[in-house]
Amino acid sequence: MTFTLNEEQRLLKDAARDFCSEQTPVSRLRKERDAKKNGRDPELWREMAQMGWAGIIVPEEYGGAGLGYVGLGAVLEETGRTLAPSPLLSTAMIGASALILGGGDAQKAQWLPKIASGEAIVAFAVDDGAHHAPGRSALKVGGGKISGEKKYVADGHIAEVFIVSGADGLYLVKADAAGVSRRELFTVDSRGAADVTFKDAPTEALSGGAATRDAVLDRARIGLAAEMLGQAQAAFEMTSEYLKTRKQFGQVIGGFQALQHRAAKMFTELELTRSCVYAALDALDRNAENVAEYASLAKARAGDTVHLVSNECVQMHGGIGMTDEHDAGLFLKRARVAEALFGGATFHRDRYASLLGF
């Protein structure tokens, strides 16, 4: 099946590329890292919200644009290209999806307009430990209270509200509620996260139980895969440009056949990943029955590709690629975090096989 962006989606993607190249170059992340901001950039988030990105999938009745997941995925791809430090994935993709799929009328009315305007930042608290295992959780829920601990909550250090994953569904908890505490984590990719503890914290359950939890998780995986696609594409372009300009033994190194083969492999893997990611985004908009299969395929493929391309980016740049002054290391660090988040490639290959009955 041939898939192309429609005119509205193309305009959205082009606007995102222009904005990110001008307002969020990789140098912005580097500057914030050196200032130890740990992913805090409220000015950037306000600008993104003013662009309408926070409300791309939010229905119009709640102040959003209702443009669908392909449009949001296209924007996430462009933010991935520049490693833009923002809560767009956790808030606009995951938080909005959780409320759209499982929120009651009152919950939607309270939170979706705030998400669409950029007023609220949402974090998705999934795993109890270091390994991704969403079906296993020691959370204790009852009487409108929740207790337990969640590890490595991306954007958890800046969130106003948590969507918390339990063994039997999702729960909404305000970050400033009694019984909620968090330990800020300074992550290797300089994006920031937190370990979050709940001790009899007041909570509201979202509807749909484990089915809603799994559906939201798949949207998180697909959105992250789109961001990873952008990261891999930018790292490849950086490497390709270097191959065309760096000279060794009297000629540009891109003229060596061995390096051409490696570049060709990266290009092929990127195109395969792009097909998987946009097929998954399209499946969400079509409300396809096999979204879970698309999600695991996209996340596994994106993980393998961003791992390969980030490694090659460092290696083909040689000594300069190993220095902090070069951007290659920033892409590699972000790649390693993204690979593990919401399940690594091995997790999703196993899940994909299980979903197909193997």
Distances (CA, A) of 296 to 9, 80, 212, 349: 24, 19, 16, 7
Token pair listed for 234: 């930018």
List, in sequence order, every residue forming a beta bridge with 204; answer none if it has no partner. Answer: 172
Residues 16, 75 contacting (CB under 8 angstroms): yes
Phi, psi of 120 (to 5 degrees): -110, 135
- Confidence at residue 77, expressed as pLDDT on a 0 to 100 scale: 98
Strand partners, 141: 146
Distance CA 336, CA 333 (A): 5
Backbone dihedral region for residue 277 (phi beyond 0: left; psi -120 to 50: alpha; all else: beta): alpha
CA distance 56 to 112: 11
Instruction: Give the residue from 86, 94, 90 showing the smallest Cα distance to 44.
Output: 86
Concatenating the DSSP letter of every residue in 291-316 gives HHHHHHHHHHHHHHHHHHHHHHHHHH
Return per-residue pLDDT of the chain as tens, 358 residues. 567 899 999 999 999 999 999 999 999 999 999 999 999 999 999 999 999 999 999 999 999 999 999 999 999 999 999 999 999 999 999 999 999 999 999 999 999 999 999 999 999 999 999 899 998 899 999 999 999 999 999 999 999 999 999 989 999 999 999 999 999 999 999 999 999 999 999 999 999 999 999 999 999 999 999 999 999 999 999 999 999 999 888 899 888 999 999 999 999 999 999 999 999 999 999 999 999 999 999 999 999 999 999 999 999 999 899 999 999 999 999 999 999 999 999 999 999 999 999 9
* Tokens read off for 147: 């207790």
Backbone region of residue 177 per phi and psi (left: phi > 0; alpha: psi in -120 to 50; beta: other values):
beta
pTM (2 decimals)? 0.96
Q: What is the pLDDT of residue 36?
A: 94
Q: Three-class SS of residue 89? A: helix
Write out the two tokens for 79. 């933010």
Please state whether 164 falls in left (phi above 0), alpha (psi between -120 and 50) or beta.
beta
Helix (H, G, I), strand (E, B) or coil at 216: helix
Query: Given the DSSP bridges, would you call strands 204-205 and 169-174 parallel, antiparallel or unpaired?
Result: antiparallel
Alpha helices in the chain (DSSP H): 7-23, 26-34, 42-50, 69-81, 88, 96-102, 105-117, 209-245, 257-286, 291-316, 328-340, 345-355
Which pLDDT score is estimated for 253?
87
Question: For residue 247, what pLDDT is reported?
Answer: 84
Nearest to 255 by CA among 267, 238, 243, 240: 243
| Joined tokens for residue 140 | 């204790």
In 3D space, the residue among 101, 98, 86, 28 whose CA is nearest the CA of residue 53 turns out to be 86
Domains of the chain: 7-117 (1.10.540.10), 122-207 (2.40.110.10), 211-355 (1.20.140.10)
What pLDDT does residue 3 have?
Answer: 78
Query: What is the Cα–Cα distance from 109 to 312, expressed in whole angstroms?
Result: 47
* Residues 338 and 224: beta-carbon distance below 8 Å: yes
